Structure 1
Amino acid sequence: MYMDYRVIKENDLFLLTDLSGNISENNCGHGLYTKDTRFLSRLALKINGADPNLLESEADQNYISEIVLTNTATQVDGKVCLWPEALEIVRTRFIYKDVMYETVKMTNFNPHKDKFELSILFDADFQDMFIVRGFQNGKVGKKSGVKQYDTGFEIGYDGEDGVARKLLVEWDEKPARVEITENGVEVTFNVTLEARDKKSVAFYVMPIIGNCVPVRYPLESAVESLRASYTDWEKGSTKVESDLPMFNNLYDRGLQDIRVLLTDLGYGRFPVAGLPWYAVPFGRDSIIAALQLMSIHPEIAKGTILTMAHFQGEKVDPWRDEQPGKIMHELRSGELAGTGNIPFTPYYGTIDATPLFLVLIGEYVKWTDDSALLKQMIPHIKRALEWIDVYGDRDGSGFVSYFQESEKGIANQGWKDSGNSIVHRSGEYAKAPIALVEVQGYVYQAKSTLSQLFGTLKLKPETTDWSGWSNALKEEAEALRIRFEEKYWVESDQYYALALDEEQKPVETVTSNTGHVLMSGMIRGERAAAIARKLVDKELFSGYGIRTMADGEIAYNPMSYHNGSIWPHDNSVCLMGLNAQGFHKEAVIVMEGLLKAGEHFENNRLPELFCGHSSERGKPVRYPVACSPQAWAAATPLMFVQVMLGMRLDYTGRQIILEPALPTGMNKLSVSRMRLGDGFMNVEVQRRNGVFTYQVLANTTGWTIGGSASFTMEIR
């Protein structure tokens, strides 16, 4: 399955075009975007006034795009002046330091000299992304005209939010003419090429906000610096090799996709949610992606934590669903946000980001021993815990629940945030306040992990009663576990309810949400085993992954966004839980399904989601508007590494437990440069006659490695 667009991104700037590299008049949202504003709304390359034909459009590299075109025939007075397919036209573009660079290289394959015109049309509408997507409207500014220079031109815009914006386009070689039309600015070059001769034209596109003008670097040094940054990213990653090519492809693709989705707002790099429409900070998405990346790039968690802490809620603001201590849902910075037409500045309508923020802090500190960050985060931890206990438990039930207050906010505030996602078996939609099952697990895990850390680490000042705080959190977590078992367990299903509604009535619909609770350690014994079995039964497991809702439920729809589709990240959180609880057989089944699905997507890139049809009917079915790449989908195969190693951390005992289990077709797995604490670990796993054995090749972590040196699992 192939994407019908091409996208490249670097930091906070991304370009979305059609397969030919153009942004057409009816462009389906294509453009060059930064700060939720479309700066380039038209980009059209023509040869002698005609659109070239597409030959090849590659999307295997996120940071640089190469598109190959050829010309159509051109006639003057009935006589051919340019034969069809005479020219090979290669468009190469990349983004570096807030500048989009494009080179158009033309090669003449005619046996004689050719003369022709290369023209490129540019325009900018400066539309807010919410307007582009048809989500919101509001009073906006107007263009302030076009200014021409010897080396380029600029289109200006005076925003209703008081911000001046410009699109600056420059070139190295003087064009034959520059024409300002109602459709934009058309730049034309006269080109003469002898047989087999080549010529390149380069141009540079720069969004300008206020007085911040980006620096344009020489083209060759810019692309080399960009390539070097990707090389550094790969070298700094955990190195993973196996004898299963499909997994290797998924891992390499996920690693590159995460790199392109990294953004730094000044507090460290973190993953934005996804391209093209969610290239902004998202509390839940960024945090879960950072959790998935812990064994591959733990420093990403630190950047995510610091970014979320900076935007932590400070006051009660119903317009933004904000309360003190709450972690944001989404941050937007376009014109509509600046004029107050939308509440995303940031918007806080998420029930799970706050406990997940605490989970991420806990897991990061366990993984890195970064007690300095833990100390730095103490005020933020206290405020987040207060939010959980005061604002999160709005009805006094002892469970964290949500209720929409903002008129332009989100009604359902868990990860399944579509309006029809929380539905009773009667078909009736649950009414808020709604206490989602997975959120209680996140709260339990947050309090349990922080209790463990505060009971172990010695932090100054010593006047703080760390042991008292540790014991209190432990008691709160246990009380939550007891309440949870009483209210959420559905005996007839041998499963936990999706949620409790406003009347504390269980929403008994069987969904994947319950699988998230396994990660927390709140579910134990036979009930945990029942959940593991249910996740891979045919009602929930399609053969390609765990569905969001079980086939057979009244609201099940395999083509829906949240009621039967398959989300790789959802599967990965379930995998974290299966691994944490030792359900290795079920974990392997889930990984094998996603590996099978990955075979059918372009460049082996797992999309945001795909439809939940059974694998028995054929290939996975593409969801029409799924983002790709999407951070938590890209990080899913990276998280497989921990699961295949069967890796768990006993923080108190400072022991790494390994119980490896590999998917079918993989008989060897090599993991090196995996960072833990101040050191690293290299380990190799092999399968021989159904028995998995591991060998530790290096261990400078200071942790001991436990678990049996061999592990047997039933061969499927």
Structure 2
Amino acid sequence: MAYSIAKAVVIKQGNVFFLSQPEGHVPLTREHGFGLYYHDCRYLNGYELMVGDEHPEPLAARSSEGARAVFQLTTPEFQSVDGRTIDRETIGLKWERVIDAEACVMHERLDIQNFGFEPVEFILRMRFRAGFEDVFAIRGIVTESEGKRWRPRWIDKRLVFSYSGGDGVLRSLAIHFDPLPTAVKGAGVEFRLAFKPGESKQLRTALAIDEVERPVKRPAAHFRSSVNLPVSHASRDEWTKPETEFDCDSLLLSRVMRRSLMDLQMLKTSLGGDEFFAAGIPWFATLFGRDSLIASLQALAFWPETPAHTLRLLARYQGAEVNGWRDEQPGKILHELRVGELARTNKIPHTPYYGTIDATPLFLILLSQHGQWTGDLALFQELRSSVERALEWIDRYGDEAGDGYVSYSGNTKNGLLNQGWKDSGDAVMTSEGRLARPPIALAEVQGYVYLAKASIAELFERSGEPRQAARLRAEAEALRVRFNRDFWMEDEGCYALALEAGHRPCRVISSNAGQALWAGIVDERQAGRVVNRLMQPDMFSGWGIRTLSLQERRYNPMGYHLGTVWPHDNSMIAAGFRRYGFDEEARRIFVGLLDAAIEFEDHRLPELFTGFARSEYGVPVRYPVACHPQAWAAASVPYLVQISLGLTPKAFEKRLEIVRPCLPDFVRRAEIRRLRVGKGSVDLRFERNRDGVLETYVSRVAGDLSVDILNSPA
């Protein structure tokens, strides 16, 4: 990409989203990720505003309500219609955008004011470009297209762009104006505007997306005739209403939590009536098995309804046959679902694509955790056949090497070579720097399988099937013993990244061992050594734990999975530290991520950032094409709040346990309100006493619920 999207201003509602530069523009040059997207298609890939012959200069940009953005611009020196040079900062422009996903429209209002002492008349130009590119074409993965782009036309007082896709779908973008432009020139319009001193005027536009799923010869007759132009938007409070509320006296933590919860709301997307967290904008704004499951796990305490929808949706698409094109196998949970032209014409296998080794055990883990929060077996019973098929996949198809570990060989033709969460082609290697040879068994995936079997066993037992529960627990324990024997590196005090072909350990220090702690598969005797190894300077950058040690041959602080820092990875590792009692180390990770969030716009943690040490630059160095918002990054701080406060649901027993609550030292007071556990809810207050110890107070309990405060606070 020629343009970094690291500072993109993003708005989204439902399935429609828009990325622009901080001045509100979408570059008219190619090779960038900005634009207006819907259903895996970028409808608008160029949009610029000019006053005279100059671009306005940005002063401020905000997108704090999710579906709404506001840009404050001013003018540099420019030429008026009569040839006069108008001083800089004479004209102010407030550019407001709101997405209405139900109507598939992006409304805009441009308020223009002359702050000068003299009248001024100038030409305001808007230029557009509509490429109708599939997201896979933008990313350079697939470039072929069989469709036809029509020339822009002025039809019924609208500027209309259209594309007849190779999939038989007519996609169109109709741009409405109020007032109408003075002139229309190809793919642009002009307004001749005259202002008295201090005078203000307003221009409104509406960019309306449309899809017609039938072949047509001439597109003009199929455009919608009108769009409501008034700009309206949800209040900020409507974007920050998770069922559970959090408040604290730390301005930093409050702002990061607010941004995180707003981003999760923003990323909520629906498919067939079921809601899920889309993985990330712009590249992964769709249903992802692994990402949607992990984000739902992280956000369970704050968004308790979304996991059930996500599980039902993934069960609906659960693998039913052996299909090499899509990496599908019976019982397997999908990796990624796409609905754009390239998917519909079978140019890509994402219909859905199943090339993930970890979504299936994560499906079982989320279902188990949902049960612990709700105390209800209804969803387990509803999805019972999907659970059994997932367990069968783990034991039959997942164990590709036949050695008791879930492994993969990868798809070298049309899919993913690596199929864990580190799925770039160079993410799994040996200590010599050679790429690992398949079949590959990843360390954290064995942890997921262990946790899946151990936790789903309780739901079987509570459903009156103790034999099935006992079998699953025995299989989990046997896996735990094998894992600690085969993956452990005594000389390194850590677990190997993976086992490659021939049962050979990839003797590489990586963050994967931290996620093994999260899953609980790590032997208690080894946990302290793993924590210590991960917190050494070659792994802990000061902002977070790197994906790969800087001592490894393939380390690259800018490599996607070769040394970067991922917030979701760190939140899970911190949870693993807490599981084994290493509270101070978990707190260091929490503080590092919060400190990093200060340096990003709106305190939004991106998908990832580079692995350069905090001591080297003093600020986290951006990864230029990281998704933001991104679901499991947005859910990371809410999850860190949950695990730091030790909120442990036991809804089947009508209990909430609070285990060793701890928070960063700069947080003196925190409150959790309307935390739902089973059919009850509770308000909690945490305060530091004079000795700096965080004490817990139960402010309110509703329903049949008891609260147990366990162990000494940290």
Normalised by the shorter chain, which TM-score bucket?
Answer: over 0.9
CA contact 1:539–1:551 (8 Å) conserved in 2? yes
Superposition deviation, residue 26 in structure 1 = 1.1
SS at 1:699's partner residue? Answer: strand
CA contact 1:145–1:157 (8 Å) conserved in 2? no
Distance 1:704 1:178, change over 3 A: same
Alignment partners' CA distance in 2, 1:150 and 1:214 = 10
After superposition, residues 154-233 of structure 1 pair within 5 angstroms as 154-179=160-185, 181=186, 184=187, 186-210=188-212, 218-220=228-230, 223-224=232-233, 226-227=234-235, 231-233=237-239
Superposition deviation, residue 217 in structure 1 = 6.6
Alignment partners' CA distance in 2, 1:559 and 1:24 = 25
**Matching residue's letter, 1:495:** C
Alignment partners' CA distance in 1, 2:356 and 2:46 = 36
Unpaired runs of 5+ residues, structure 2, are 214-221
Deviations 1:417-464 (A, max 9, x none): 122221111222111110111111111111111111111246xxxxxx
Superposition deviation, residue 643 in structure 1 = 2.0
Superposition deviation, residue 359 in structure 1 = 0.6
CA contact 2:654–2:677 (8 Å) conserved in 1? no
Q: Could you tell me which residue of structure 2 aligns to residue 246 of structure 1? A: 252
**Matching residue's letter, 1:63:** A
SS at 2:700's partner residue? Answer: strand
Quick check: 1:531 aligned with 2:533?
A: no
Distance 1:139 1:595, change over 3 A: closer
After superposition, residues 484-523 of structure 1 pair within 5 angstroms as 484-523=483-522
CA contact 2:51–2:75 (8 Å) conserved in 1? yes
Superposition deviation, residue 127 in structure 1 = 1.4
Distance 1:557 1:47, change over 3 A: closer
Superposition deviation, residue 152 in structure 1 = 1.3
Q: Could you tell me which residue of structure 1 aligns to residue 11 of structure 2? A: 8
Quick check: 1:623 aligned with 2:627?
A: no
After superposition, residues 346-361 of structure 1 pair within 5 angstroms as 346-361=352-367
Give the TM-score of the pair, scaled to structure 1: 0.93
Superposition deviation, residue 342 in structure 1 = 1.4
Q: Could you tell me which residue of structure 2 aligns to residue 585 of structure 1? A: 584
CA contact 2:375–2:651 (8 Å) conserved in 1? no
Alignment partners' CA distance in 2, 1:369 and 1:72 = 62
- Mean alpha-carbon deviation: is it higher for 654-663 or for 676-685? 654-663
CA contact 2:558–2:611 (8 Å) conserved in 1? yes
SS at 2:675's partner residue? Answer: strand
CA contact 1:592–1:664 (8 Å) conserved in 2? no
Distance 1:177 1:356, change over 3 A: same
Alignment partners' CA distance in 1, 2:105 and 2:115 = 32
Alignment partners' CA distance in 1, 2:48 and 2:462 = 62
CA contact 1:152–1:170 (8 Å) conserved in 2? yes
Quick check: 1:647 aligned with 2:647?
A: yes
Distance 1:651 1:68, change over 3 A: closer
Superposition deviation, residue 661 in structure 1 = 1.1
Q: Could you tell me which residue of structure 1 aligns to residue 106 of structure 2? A: 100
Alignment partners' CA distance in 2, 1:79 and 1:167 = 35
Distance 1:82 1:476, change over 3 A: same
Deviations 1:655-712 (A, max 9, x none): 322121121211211111111112211111122213221111122353432234x734
Alignment partners' CA distance in 1, 2:87 and 2:524 = 75
Superposition deviation, residue 83 in structure 1 = 4.7
Superposition deviation, residue 639 in structure 1 = 0.8
Q: Could you tell me which residue of structure 1 aligns to residue 218 of structure 2? A: none
After superposition, residues 314-393 of structure 1 pair within 5 angstroms as 314-393=320-399
Q: Could you tell me which residue of structure 2 aligns to residue 672 of structure 1? A: 673
Superposition deviation, residue 168 in structure 1 = 1.5
Q: Could you tell me which residue of structure 2 aligns to residue 296 of structure 1? A: 302
SS at 1:711's partner residue? Answer: coil
Quick check: 1:415 aligned with 2:421?
A: yes
SS at 2:162's partner residue? Answer: strand
Quick check: 1:574 aligned with 2:573?
A: yes
Deviations 1:188-245 (A, max 9, x none): 223232222211111111121115988977455x624x33xx5345233321122222
CA contact 1:536–1:589 (8 Å) conserved in 2? no
CA contact 2:399–2:407 (8 Å) conserved in 1? yes
Distance 1:642 1:213, change over 3 A: farther
**Matching residue's letter, 1:638:** P
**Matching residue's letter, 1:589:** R
Alignment partners' CA distance in 2, 1:119 and 1:619 = 39
When the two structures are aligned, how many residues end up with a matched partner? 697
Alignment partners' CA distance in 2, 1:168 and 1:679 = 50
- Mean alpha-carbon deviation: is it higher for 316-325 or for 44-53? 44-53
Same amino acid, percent of matched pairs = 37
Distance 1:619 1:123, change over 3 A: closer
- Mean alpha-carbon deviation: is it higher for 574-583 or for 408-417? 574-583
Superposition deviation, residue 105 in structure 1 = 1.0
Q: Could you tell me which residue of structure 2 aligns to residue 80 of structure 1? A: 84
CA contact 1:275–1:628 (8 Å) conserved in 2? yes
Alignment partners' CA distance in 1, 2:324 and 2:446 = 24
Alignment partners' CA distance in 2, 1:581 and 1:677 = 26
Distance 1:38 1:473, change over 3 A: same
Alignment partners' CA distance in 1, 2:608 and 2:661 = 28
Alignment partners' CA distance in 2, 1:374 and 1:712 = 35
Distance 1:703 1:473, change over 3 A: farther
Q: Could you tell me which residue of structure 2 aligns to residue 473 of structure 1? A: 472
Alignment partners' CA distance in 2, 1:126 and 1:309 = 31
CA contact 1:172–1:203 (8 Å) conserved in 2? yes
Quick check: 1:614 aligned with 2:613?
A: yes
Deviations 1:235-267 (A, max 9, x none): 333211222221111111111111111111124
SS at 1:367's partner residue? Answer: helix
Distance 1:30 1:280, change over 3 A: same
Alignment partners' CA distance in 1, 2:80 and 2:459 = 79
- Mean alpha-carbon deviation: is it higher for 652-661 or for 544-553? 652-661
Alignment partners' CA distance in 2, 1:51 and 1:234 = 35
**Matching residue's letter, 1:303:** H
SS at 1:119's partner residue? Answer: strand
**Matching residue's letter, 1:223:** S
CA contact 1:540–1:551 (8 Å) conserved in 2? yes
Q: Could you tell me which residue of structure 1 aligns to residue 219 of structure 2? A: none
Alignment partners' CA distance in 2, 1:345 and 1:210 = 20
Alignment partners' CA distance in 1, 2:81 and 2:606 = 50
- Mean alpha-carbon deviation: is it higher for 127-136 or for 445-454? 127-136
Superposition deviation, residue 273 in structure 1 = 1.2
Alignment partners' CA distance in 2, 1:661 and 1:217 = 52
Superposition deviation, residue 157 in structure 1 = 1.2
Alignment partners' CA distance in 1, 2:175 and 2:228 = 15
Task: Pick from 36, 51, 58 the counterpart of residue 55 of structure 2.
Answer: 51
Quick check: 1:30 aligned with 2:39?
A: no
SS at 1:130's partner residue? Answer: helix
Distance 1:406 1:14, change over 3 A: same
Distance 1:494 1:74, change over 3 A: closer
SS at 2:124's partner residue? Answer: strand
Quick check: 1:68 aligned with 2:72?
A: yes
Alignment partners' CA distance in 2, 1:3 and 1:562 = 18
Quick check: 1:21 aligned with 2:21?
A: no
SS at 1:320's partner residue? Answer: coil
CA contact 1:343–1:408 (8 Å) conserved in 2? yes
Superposition deviation, residue 75 in structure 1 = 3.9
CA contact 2:123–2:190 (8 Å) conserved in 1? yes
Unpaired runs of 5+ residues, structure 1, are 459-465
Alignment partners' CA distance in 1, 2:490 and 2:619 = 35
**Matching residue's letter, 1:683:** L
SS at 1:392's partner residue? Answer: coil
Q: Could you tell me which residue of structure 2 aligns to residue 461 of structure 1? A: none
Superposition deviation, residue 363 in structure 1 = 0.5
Distance 1:711 1:377, change over 3 A: same
Quick check: 1:599 aligned with 2:598?
A: yes
Q: Could you tell me which residue of structure 2 aligns to residue 311 of structure 1? A: 317
SS at 2:109's partner residue? Answer: strand
